[in-house]
Amino acid sequence: MIVRTLDEITDTDADIKTPNWRSKRIILAKEKVGFSVHETTLYAGTVNDFWYANHVEAVFVYEGEGEVTNKATGETHQLRPGSLYLLNDHDKHQVRPKTDMKTVCVFNPPVTGREVHDENGVYPLVTEAD
């Protein structure tokens, strides 16, 4: 059994900070459970373009408000506490938080924690063996 708190992750190498968001990686590929879990805060007023070409991501919003747009269709969905969006087709998307938005994100395959978004918002597929 693994039990971990956000306080244990805060300000470690599993706490990734950018100008637009902060992601605390709670469960990573090294745990070998087939997925990773992150608490991510997206900052109010930012525009975030993502495309997880190598991962499927589910995002559950538990605090704050914003919107997500499917960049292929232009369809926009409002996000608020209790909303979940699933990027089951590796959807290119844009997230625009109106307020600071706290989310829980699940990735498959799991993230190692060493990934960095490229110019297209893509995480490379990194494995624990790399």
First-to-last alpha carbon distance for the chain, in angstroms, is 26
Domain ranges of the chain: 6-108
Tokens of 67: 């919107």
- From the list 114, 100, 81, the residue with the least C-alpha distance to 40 is 100
Question: How confident is the model over 88-96, as a mean pLDDT?
Answer: 95
pTM of the model: 0.88
Q: 56-63 and 48-51: which strand pairing?
A: unpaired
Looking only at Cα atoms, what is the longest distance across the chain?
42
Tens-digit pLDDT profile for residues 17-43: 999 999 999 999 999 999 999 999 999
Tokens of 19: 């100008």
Judge residue 25's burial from the number of C-beta atoms within 10 Å of its C-beta, 0-12 exposed, 13-18 middle, 19 or more buried: buried
Residue 97 to residue 44: CA distance in whole angstroms: 5
The per-type count for the chain, helices as H runs and strands as E runs, is 1, 10
Looking at CATH, the fold of the domain delimited by 6-108 is given as Jelly Rolls (2.60.120)
pLDDT value of position 53: 86
